């Protein structure tokens, strides 16, 4: 995936202990060794006590290999996997607040929202907040298109979440 916001991107999935300071250990490792995090998301996993993290990291393959090795060394990191882009589903959610002037502009925004199968989740007289979910390219492209029509007031992106296709999984067993 070559993409304006994520050039040279690799996706790394991690299963980690859900204990205080673990995020700091992980991001600290990146900072200390000069690796770039393009995106990081975290949440509960299927198993209590373990969190699932998706990191979008930038760098050539040697760098990504070093990153996964260094992550593996952290005691609180249970599993690390470099997820090949071919066999992985990647999703991102973005919330975008745009400023609208008049009915016509509103109509235009709504039609684009429909086209991208996005959702308008909050509508007021001058503002619409849109939720768009998809691969990072879809989100980027939506933002491009919508910003051509109306001014954007605020963007909140979740960062990338990734899961492998088929049977393969990053789990304890």
Q: Does 76 bind other proteins (CB under 8 A)?
A: yes
Alpha helices in the chain (DSSP H): 22-33, 61-73, 102-115, 136-149
Burial class (CB in 10 A: 0-12, 13-18, 19+), 154: exposed
- x-or-dash pattern for other proteins, window 9-48, by CB under 8 A? -------xx--xx--xx--xx--x----------------
Measured CA distances, 35 to 85, 87, 100, 127, 165 (Å): 20, 24, 40, 38, 27
For 60-93, b where at least 16 C-beta lie within 10 A, e where not — what string?
eeebbeebbebbeebeebbbbbbbeeeebebbbb
Q: Does 167 bind other proteins (CB under 8 A)?
A: no
Q: Which of 60, 73, 103, 166 binds other proteins (CB under 8 A)?
A: 73
Nearer to other proteins, 75 or 124 (CB): 75
Segment near other proteins (CB under 8 A); pick from 35-43, 73-81, 107-115, 122-130: 73-81
CA angle 20, 53, 17 (to 5 degrees): 35
* Smallest distance from other proteins to CB 58, Å: 18
* Smallest distance from other proteins to CB 29, Å: 8
* Smallest distance from other proteins to CB 139, Å: 32
Binding site for other proteins (CB under 8 A): 16-17, 20-21, 24-25, 28-29, 32, 62, 65-66, 69-70, 72-73, 75-79, 172
């Amino acid at each position: 995936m070559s993409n304006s916001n994520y050039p040279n991107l690799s996706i790394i999935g991690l299963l980690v202990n859900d204990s205080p300071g673990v995020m700091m250990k992980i991001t600290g490792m990146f900072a200390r060794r000069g690796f770039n995090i393009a995106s990081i998301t975290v949440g509960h996993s299927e198993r209590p006590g373990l969190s699932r993290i998706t990191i979008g990291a930038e760098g050539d393959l040697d760098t990504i290999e070093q990153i996964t090795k260094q992550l593996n060394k952290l005691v609180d990191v249970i599993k690390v996997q470099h997820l090949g882009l071919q066999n992985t589903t990647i999703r991102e959610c973005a919330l975008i607040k745009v400023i609208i002037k008049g009915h016509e502009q509103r109509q235009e925004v709504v039609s684009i929202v429909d086209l991208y199968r996005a959702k308008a989740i909050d509508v007021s007289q001058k503002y619409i907040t849109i939720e768009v979910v998809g691969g990072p390219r879809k989100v980027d492209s939506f933002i491009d298109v919508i910003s051509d029509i109306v001014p954007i007031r605020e963007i909140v992106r979740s960062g990338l979440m990734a899961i492998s296709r088929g049977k393969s999984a990053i789990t304890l067993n």
